[in-house]
Amino acid sequence: MSEEVQTSKNSVRKRNDLYQTLAFTVMKLSVALVLLILIAVVGDIVLNGWSAINVTFLTQMPQKGMTAGGILPCIVGTVELVILSLLFAVPAGILSAIYLTEYAPDGRAKWAVEQAVNNLAGTPSIVFGLFGMALFIKYIGLPSSLLTASLTMGVLILPVIIRTTQESLLSVPKELRDASYALGITKWETIRRVVLPSAYSGIITGIILSVGRAAGETAPILFTGAVYYYPRLPDNVFSPFMALSYHLYVMATESMNIEMTRSIQYGTALILLLIVLSMNLVATGIRRHYKKKLS
């Protein structure tokens, strides 16, 4: 009887080992496939866009309907758009997440708000563009400009920041809060001095995700302030502006001679990729700084 039991156990163990090997093989193949696709896309952009990049391309205004000159207004407009969007979305998102996690009582109201945030995170960006145009331009009366585009983009990335901040706050051990309360520290001071520093890494991860989306989305700014040809830098936040994503979209779909401007399209895509990468590296450096500080 014991031999039969041992044989059965060995059979089960071998079957589990086989399943584990298959699972790890599938995961490795999936990772390899993702990496190959990433290398192919980035490699194509770099190989075709590198030849277009020079001092003129980076520092001059566009000329001849964007078939000559540079893309300086697009670069500046994209950076300003991302920064202004984050200035609106980051404080609002973090404060909203703190309230939902630390103060809001459990119940239907809280559940409804969290479900709304989840649904907004998956809403198509063009819906946000129409919302921004209706609210900020039609209802409030703001001009179609860098400000309205930034506010719309801020609304777009707000759900991502709220959800990532909530998850980061919930991951902070309850013992840290209890220890702080035991020392007589108020709830707000505990959140500000104990909980938030422990959650900085996850919060900055959400900001990193938001940077890429704010820089790369086209539909929201299409309705709220971006223009195709504006050969000067924005005078203020109420001016129209050029953006890399919208500029690339128009050149690739509506240009009179797409083949003639192909190198400019690839160069624009490469610059957009480098800007997003640079901002992500800065945010990653900040995250590592706080991680080391906490450890």
CATH number at residue 190: 1.10.3720.10
CB 129 within 8 A of CB 112: no
Q: Are residues 6 and 125 in the same domain?
A: no
Report the DSSP beta bridge partners of residue 63: 68
Q: Are residues 102 and 201 in the same domain?
A: yes
Model confidence at 84, in pLDDT bands (50, 70, 90)?
very high
Structural domain boundaries enclosing 166: 55-294
Q: Are residues 46 and 109 in the same domain?
A: no
**Claim: this prediction has a pTM higher than 0.75:** yes
Q: Are residues 179 and 125 in the same domain?
A: yes
For residue 232, the 8-state DSSP code is S
Specify the pLDDT at position 214: 86
Q: Are residues 194 and 160 in the same domain?
A: yes
C-alpha 282/C-alpha 280 separation (Å) is: 5
Residue with tokens 């520093």: 197
Q: Which residue has the higher pLDDT, 202 or 33?
A: 33
User: Residue 259: what residue type?
Assistant: E
Q: Are residues 18 and 74 in the same domain?
A: no
Q: Are residues 42 and 65 in the same domain?
A: no
Q: Are residues 17 and 148 in the same domain?
A: no
Q: Which residue has the higher pLDDT, 154 or 181?
A: 154
Q: Are residues 161 and 30 in the same domain?
A: no
Question: Per residue in 220-259, pLDDT tens?
Answer: 898 898 888 888 888 888 999 999 888 888 888 876 667 7
C-alpha 139/C-alpha 220 separation (Å) is: 17
C-alpha 114/C-alpha 111 separation (Å) is: 5
Q: Which of 31-40, 43-52, 55-64, 86-95 has the lowest mean pLDDT?
A: 55-64
Question: Per residue in 156-214, pLDDT tens?
Answer: 999 999 999 999 998 888 888 888 888 888 888 888 888 888 888 888 888 888 888 88
For residue 105, the 8-state DSSP code is P
pLDDT at 1 over 60: no
CB 113 within 8 A of CB 271: no
Question: Per residue in 51-81, pLDDT tens?
Answer: 888 888 888 888 776 777 788 899 999 999 9
C-alpha 202/C-alpha 264 separation (Å) is: 37
- Residue 125 exposure: Cα atoms within 13 Å on the Cβ side: 20
Task: Count the domains in the chain.
Answer: 2
